Structure 1
Amino acid sequence: MTTQSHTQIVTCPDPAVDHLGRHGYLFGYPIAHSMSPLFHQTVYDHLGLRWSQLLLESTDMLQFLRLLRDKRLFGASVTMPHKLAIIKYLDDLTPEARAVGAVNTIFRRRDQFVGTNTDTIGVAQSFFQNVKDPNVVFRGRPGMVIGGGGAARAAVYALVRLMGCSRVYLVNREASEVEAVMSWCKSQGYGDGLIHVSTASQARTLDGPGAIVACVPNFPPVTESEKEARRVTEVFLEKAHKGAILEMCYHPTPWTEIAAISQKAGWQVIIGTEAVIHQGLEANRYWTGRETSEMPISRVKEVIAKELSKSRL
């Protein structure tokens, strides 16, 4: 651990790359449990590419920016705590990254480094690839997001812009986080239909959602605000219309309290690895120039499921 500008920076040795063909990084901290390199290796092996993604478990932005300059680098995945911090160092952003205000993927455009946000595609494709009839289940109906922050913004964008939800309910223990999400989304032109649902009694007066994205850790509610947010969620789950819920929390297990409550209430549960897979395939579309239809989706799902089962042993 080193210190830069009086701030503690967690750093790591530069990964060895000379024995590789082309390479990329997953930049974040902590990421030791990440299945991302395994996922991407499965794709590259299928496509016949001598490529690899390496973990850069670090908060050292200067190290990452130096490593980006390697001509053999095809791009990088960026995760917490860097999704916002990286933006000012990039040459350009895609419309999705600009709208969400966060970057999770960097790709080369000639000599430029461009940031995009494939979490939006990851959320949307999780529903489109797993729900039999989107027109009946969620298109034209309200959507719902549990949680706040950047993940919530990406989920709202997916529900509104990509999935055709008529409006979006926001449920969270912290009202200030909801207000920040609503303010941001409105400033970017996709927040006019957002509704902060703060009480169970309010939830009872509203139409049931067709698609829910849960972006909160798997902890039992303790504070009164957490308990009320859970009651709000349960009111929506018990409504007559049964849709699909994407549980973004999948580590160490995808079977969270919210997933169990949803399944018991008659909802289709989509586990968070689906979003990881589809956002990763979209990232590889930018990096490789290949369409996602050329990528081994079934094989990737098998590999991730096997790895996830190991973590539960």
Structure 2
Amino acid sequence: MKVILIGFRGTGKTSVGRILAARLGLPFYDTDALIEQRAGMPIPEIFRRAGEAHFRALEREVVALLRDVEGVIGTGGGTVCDPTNVADLRRHGRIYLLTAPPGVIHERIAGSNRPGLTDLPPEEEVCTLLLRRKEVYLGAADVCIDTGNQTPAGVAETILGQIRGESTLSPEERRERDSLLSKFGLETVREMVDRDPGLMVCGIAGNPCAHSRSPLLYNRLFEHFGMNYRYTRFEWPDMGTIIRLANLLPLKGLSVTIPFKTDVMRYLDEVDEHAAAIGAVNTVVRCGGRMYGHNTDWLGVRIPLVHRRGGRAVVLGAGGAAAAAVYALLSLDMDVTVLARRSEAAMALADRFRCRWGAMEDFRGSDADVVVHTTPVGMEPDTRSLLAPCDLERKMTVFDLVYTPPETPLLQAAREAGCETIPGTEMFVHQAAEQFRLITGIAVSPELVREMLA
């Protein structure tokens, strides 16, 4: 058994960790103590002599040594800011994020001889670093526990209860969970969760979503990183019902697809700046009973098109994927025009981002350098294409966000016209890599994602 406690200084990691280790009959590993032992000097001296970079290098070495241990591990507040550390800690372990209000943390660490990490006053530094690290803390954690009003013994008992498999659901909630899982056709998920109380669940929410390759990708990545996670499909016509089921499961994250990317936002506790600007969420991270919304689709469009920065771009479509595409293209300083079959939809999207718009028939003469297709046209079993080879020019880069099939009718037309083509699998790869980081705290390369999809 491997139990990891993460969080800011003053949240009780060492005190709770020692109690847990004693109750479980396991060794307790304090990464800060191990770093001092390795360096032969206290942490303030490491910072004074060699700086934070050297301290973080030592920290990485210590965490790597703990990759396959059995025991309780308490880590420094900045440890999980390094995705390499998260991957080592997560391997065959369960990570608990201990939190507390900033004022409580400040009181607990007052008088510490640890050097500050910023030039800010101590209380302001706490607030600033908590905000800066929030995303990585939530991603790296399996469970979030607020220690602000609890004793270390009480927190340890909460964790022990979870390890023992004590359900936090009432009998009524358990019956509701089982009923919903049955309606969704997910009886196997109920069996897995009941059999293994340490299992965490993720899934794709959509209607339909049977075509999605996310379950294949995520389950292979979970196995690759030694994580006790299972990814499934939540296919249902109502997002509210999916969210209700998610809150009755040990769920960590959701990938959100058509038609729920906008609708899901009203069920979330927080939405990041990118998702808010785009008006769509494709990634939900859940921890501590709260849900956080993100959008990684725009990065899936942006990264493959970095080499066309500053060009003229046309976006075909005006839905949620189109909004992400426009946002991505504008971040690359492109001159963007939105074209859609419904002119009013194109106008509404273009007005949001202050770019040009028109109807599909306006494509000819647009003199585009980049064409991004965001509609479902061409997705299996559809064999249509919005553009023909005669509509395209050799200088164009054509990016089709449809990824089933990998070679869409539009991409076939673009190849015939001599264009550079980018398949929708590239968007999927890059958005999935960022989504996996948000949900798990682990950074994966595009190459590994492609390998897992093969």
TM-score (norm. length: structure 1): 0.75
State the SS of the aligned residue for 2:237.
coil
Aligned match of 2:295 in 117, 120, 129?
Answer: 117
8 Å Cα contact 2:337/2:350 also seen in 1:
no
- Map 1:89-104 to 2 at 5 A: 89-104=267-282
Runs of 4+ residues over 3 Å off in structure 1: 60-63, 197-200
- Map 1:38-77 to 2 at 5 A: 38-70=216-248, 72-77=250-255
Number of the residue aligned with 2:317: 147
State the SS of the aligned residue for 1:168.
strand
State the Cα deviation string for residues 69-104 of structure 1 (Å, max 9, x = none). Answer: 247321111112211211111111111111111111
State the Cα deviation string for residues 251-273 of structure 1 (Å, max 9, x = none). Answer: 2x232222122112221111111
8 Å Cα contact 1:243/1:267 also seen in 2:
yes
Aligned match of 1:249 in 390, 399, 402?
Answer: 402
Aligned match of 2:424 in 262, 265, 272?
Answer: 272
Number of the residue aligned with 1:7: none
Q: 1:176 to 1:195 in 2, by over 3 A?
A: closer
State the Cα deviation string for residues 141-187 of structure 1 (Å, max 9, x = none). Answer: 111111221111111011102x221x11222222122122123xx2x
Matched residues in 2 for 1:160 and 1:296: separation? 25
Q: Tell which structure's C-alpha radius of gyration is larger.
A: 2
Tell me the C-alpha RMSD between the 2 structures. 2.6
Number of the residue aligned with 1:212: 371
- Map 1:1-313 to 2 at 5 A: 11-14=183-186, 15-16=189-190, 17-18=192-193, 19=195, 21-70=199-248, 72-108=250-286, 110-128=288-306, 134=307, 138-161=308-331, 163-165=332-334, 167-183=335-351, 186=352, 191-196=353-358, 199=361, 203-204=364-365, 206=366, 208-216=367-375, 217-218=377-378, 230=387, 234-235=390-391, 237-238=392-393, 242-251=395-404, 253-291=405-443, 295-304=444-453, 306=454
Q: 1:243 to 1:109 in 2, by over 3 A?
A: farther
Residue 199 of structure 1, CA deviation: 4.2
Residue 106 of structure 1, CA deviation: 0.5
8 Å Cα contact 1:247/1:259 also seen in 2:
yes
State the SS of the aligned residue for 2:263.
coil
Report how many residues are paired: 263
Name stretches of at least 5 consecutive residues in structure 2 with no aligned partner.
1-182
Matched residues in 1 for 2:448 and 2:309: separation? 29
Q: 1:214 to 1:234 in 2, by over 3 A?
A: farther
State the SS of the aligned residue for 2:402.
coil
Matched residues in 2 for 1:115 and 1:194: separation? 28
TM-score (norm. length: structure 2): 0.53
State the SS of the aligned residue for 2:241.
helix
8 Å Cα contact 2:346/2:359 also seen in 1:
no
Matched residues in 2 for 1:48 and 1:243: separation? 43
Residue 296 of structure 1, CA deviation: 4.9
Matched residues in 1 for 2:416 and 2:341: separation? 23
Residue 297 of structure 1, CA deviation: 2.9
Number of the residue aligned with 2:109: none
Name stretches of at least 5 consecutive residues in structure 1 with no aligned partner.
1-10, 129-133, 307-313
8 Å Cα contact 2:346/2:357 also seen in 1:
no
- Counterpart of 1:244, as a letter, is T
Structure of higher RCO (CA pairs closer than 8 Å, 6+ residues apart) = 1
Matched residues in 2 for 1:198 and 1:63: separation? 36
